[in-house]
A and B are shown apart, each in its own frame.
Chain A
Amino acid sequence: MRSARGWRLAGIRSALAAIVIACLATGPALAQTTVRVSGWGGTDVAIVEELLARFVRPVVEPQGIEVVYEPIADDFPTYLFNALSAGTAPDLFYVDIFWAESLMRAGQLEPLNDYLADSSVLSADDIIPELLDAFSLDGKIYGIPKDFNTLALFFNKDLFDLAGVPYPDENDDWNTLADKLRRVSALGPDIYGLALQPEFARMGALAFATGWEPFDEQGHTNLLDPRFVEAFSWYTGLAADGTGVHPEDVGQGWGGGALVTEQVAAAIEGAWLLGFLRDAAPNLPYGAVPLPRHPGTGQRGNLIFTVAWSMNSASQVKDEAFQVLEALTSPEAQQWVLERGLALPSRAELADNPYFQQPTPEAQANRIVFLGASDGFVRPFKFLDYGGSWLDPINAAINSVILGEQDAETALAAAQEQLDLLTGR
């Protein structure tokens, strides 16, 4: 009895002790200016931690700036929007171009023009102009792009060799490329030329090559524009004659996965494919070339996917935060990121970096993707502040036509009807 009570008291005591300890185990007191930096988790955590340790802390710590890095596990935009409304958002954070515009318009991001004008390290001219434009609104710069991706045509050399077809090259236009792909797909009933991911994030690049713009001056979208219809028909038409295939028909969720099955000769992807290939198919003999030119305009189109470092407009330590931003996007930091093949950084001068001269397929593919940002009709992957609701009708149309559920005309008319509701007639 006594021992049972003793145990019980000990239990209660240890519980109280645990609570007290938990109460005491809290963050350290502020000693100097702290700049909080945040982005999403995953591989980025290791990259940013390395950047902070190698390039940022050595520069800013002597000036009494402490950098605290708070990566968010996942679903970063939700976290950020919540934290901004609650006033707990970090001083510097990632902003993806896809949801940047709503933050810019809401005044949550600090315009950086004045800081850039005063800076000796970072100037607006250093950054690839297409990227900087993507984060600018009404002449104000709301973010310094840290890295980016564009689309390129990745292909499996084995299948082209087997079919005796010359590899795709940078001179291909839509017709010559379709011809090559068709000849490869003739290898067998299970072999296809191109993985047709049913998304505007792929097909949109082709639409831009025709000179089509996603929005006119009034902000309306016209999918029935003959130029858009031409791109749409070319892309979905590849499925109709068996040259292209929906990735799900080869048991995969995306173009990169389809490429790895060795049943599909080519896929339109960005440099994100390279990390996947390293693990999933380290011996795949792949090449990358720019997307084909439109036969009429003679131009390529492309989409820019990019992420910037932006500053919280409510930050209490803006000048210090900008110093951290300078160090994060310094030439040395960006070169380090590039040379490890981690991402394609945003400084224009890096186009001449020796990394791109290496003969490895990975460096060459990265070079093609890097150059894609400044070649032809390039638009950021951003649709005013509509985001996914603008993309969904178009994606649904592409998907249904590739699957043969609808013809192009019906699908586009339905999508246009939905976009009319969204963007106005």
Chain B
Amino acid sequence: METVAQTAPAAGRPRPVLDPAAAARRRWARAALIYVLLLAFSLLFVGPFLFAILSSLKDNPAEWPPRLDPPQLNPANWRAAWRLGKAGGGSGLFGQFAPGAVVNFDVTYFVPEGRTPHPPEVTISRRVPGAGIGAVVPDAFAADYAIVSEVVETARKPAEGGVLVTYSFTIRHDGQGPAVDRLPLDLLVPIGQTFHSATLAPNRIERLGRVQSWNNITPGLVPYVFHNYNRVFNENYSRTTGKNLFLAWIRNSLFIAGVKVLTTVIIASMSGYALARLRFPGRNALFIFILFSMMIPGQVTFISNYLVLRDGVFGISRLFGVDTLLNTFTGLIVSGLCGGSAVFIMKQFFETLPRELEESARIDGAGPLMTYSRIVLPLARPALGAVAILTFQGAWNEFFWPLVALTAPQDKLLLTVGLLNLRRAYGAVALDWGPLLAAAIISALPIIIIFLIFQRYFVEGISFSGIKG
């Protein structure tokens, strides 16, 4: 209460002089409060995204309780993945199990006092994936070409309450078969003998501690750390065309978003200029009509839009020999050439330009088209940037309409709808959320990059229109 009285002096009274130390304290306290609040808010907003990135690296993103230090983030495992990838005959970045591979592997167990240490039973298992295309068309199995050496004890170290025993073995490729992507490994020990450490951290411990299981002991760095990302790219290809689906979806989304940005920038700037500067009958009615179109949710008009596309925009597409615009990029582009909000932003911007510029152009003999293209457009770069970025963001993230208008074939889907496909492929069948999460992170990247580079335009876009998107 007192502070309020001090900072807001009553009229007529002399402003009380503050002790400089107290003023500095208060300034610092205020700054600290602002920083704490900002940090708290940014954590609140960025935290879930960071957590999603962290989870996308894990074998089981839905693990509970969640670990903040998955083995994928441990540099010791990075080195091991690199080394093992090379030992398997691949590169350090992308490993494989190829002819000539000699993979040395160590594993250490804790054996309580009074128990005899047992060497682990080594199995290279034939694992068929539970979901995705690998379940239908399995790759070659490393088990068919791997030769496992004898397991020998190489070290014994006393530890509290028992000993730590290290065993070593070597897995070779028999040289006959093909190079295989993965070398899975299972080790079985008697109950009571517990796993301590290994050349590479296991993916899971099973059977109450008896089995240590690896998905791939020759991963190479990238497939180890970015396991789920690697799967998204490798496991999604079309059986009929052989195309990589995930790349195709990214390309489609970029294409559609790019074309929409172009059409929107052209149409919105021209119509925005016309509405701002040209005098013609019905101008206000037209502007109100455009505003009105922004207020109707897409869900209201999507059925009629769908029917319009189905019939090829009142049969116009038949002139080009196409019966329907459903499931075509054309349909998607035609139905989203330009949004009302983009026109609105451009109109608002053009109205802030000083009229004198255009008047002097007219005195020099320029017509409206010349004025528009030579004078106004170069000045409108900030607004054009804002419109372009907002349009790109909107088109890239658009989900509902592509889901309705473009359902097949698979390699024509947009990325947002493709993600839904991944949900079905991995999540719904095997509750394997890793690839979906990885794909979602990838799909968020372009927007984040664009935001970081063009932050200014985002903010301007909001200040022009008072609205987003």
Contact = CB atoms under 8 A, between A and B. Distances in A.
A282 B322 contact: no
A88 interface: yes
Given A88-B310, A279-B430, A47 B208 contact: no
Interface string B325-344: 11111100100000000000
Interface in A1-21: 4-5, 8, 11-12, 14-15, 18-19
A251 B66 CA distance: 11
Given A26-B330, A262-B208, A279-B131, A73 B407 contact: yes
11 contacts: A11-B262, A18-B258, A25-B328, A68-B409, A70-B408, A82-B404, A86-B306, A274-B130, A279-B130, A280-B430, A285-B207
Interface in B420-458: 420-421, 423-426, 428-432
A82 B404 CA distance: 9
Interface of B: 60, 64-65, 125, 127-133, 135-137, 184, 186, 188, 204, 206-208, 211, 213, 238-240, 258-259, 262-263, 266, 306-307, 310, 317, 320-322, 324-330, 333, 373-374, 377-378, 403-404, 407-410, 413, 417-418, 420-421, 423-426, 428-432
Given A26-B320, A43-B429, A282-B125, A275 B131 contact: yes
Name the residue among B64, B135, B324 with the largest chain A CB count within 10 angstroms. Answer: B135
A38 interface: yes
Given A43-B132, A73-B420, A27 B328 contact: yes
A262 B207 contact: yes
Contact of B322 (A26, A46, A82, A340): A26
A73 B404 contact: no
B322 A71 contact: no
Interface in A275-306: 275-285
A277 B186 CA distance: 15
Contacts, number: 182
B263 A19 contact: yes
Nearest to B123: A283
B136 A43 contact: yes
Given A22-B259, A38-B408, A276-B431, A283 B423 contact: no
> What class of interface size applies to chain A in its complex with B?
35 or more
A73 B412 CA distance: 12
Contacts of B333: 19, 22
Interface in A79-100: 79, 82, 86-88
Contacts of A277: 130
Given A251-B64, A342-B135, A42 B239 contact: no
Contacts of A47: 136
B234 to A, nearest CB: 14
A8 B403 CA distance: 34
Given A25-B329, A43-B132, A342-B136, A283 B424 contact: no
A421 interface: no
Nearest to A40: B424
Contacts of A340: 135-136
A74 interface: yes
Given A18-B258, A49-B238, A86-B306, 6 more contacts: A29-B321, A47-B136, A72-B408, A75-B420, A275-B430, A341-B128
Interface in A38-67: 38, 40-43, 45-47, 49-50, 52-53
A73 B133 contact: no
B371 to A, nearest CB: 14
A262 B211 CA distance: 13
Contacts of A38: 408
A280 to B, nearest CB: 7
B431 A257 contact: yes
A375 interface: no
Contacts of A342: 135-136
A285 B191 CA distance: 15
A278 B130 contact: yes
A43 B131 contact: yes
B259 A18 contact: yes
Nearest to B407: A72
A41 B320 contact: no
Interface in A231-286: 251, 253-254, 256-257, 262, 272, 274-285
A31 interface: no
Given A53-B240, A72-B407, A284 B206 contact: yes
A50 B404 contact: no
Most buried by B among A8, A11, A42: A42
Nearest to B426: A42
A24 interface: yes
A14 B263 CA distance: 11
B391 to A, nearest CB: 13
Contacts of A262: 206-208
A23 B316 CA distance: 11
Contact of A74 (B64, B266, B423): B423
Contacts of A72: 407-408
A73 B429 contact: no
Contact of B127 (A12, A53, A87, A278): A278
A170 interface: no
Interface string A82-124: 1000111000000000000000000000000000000000000
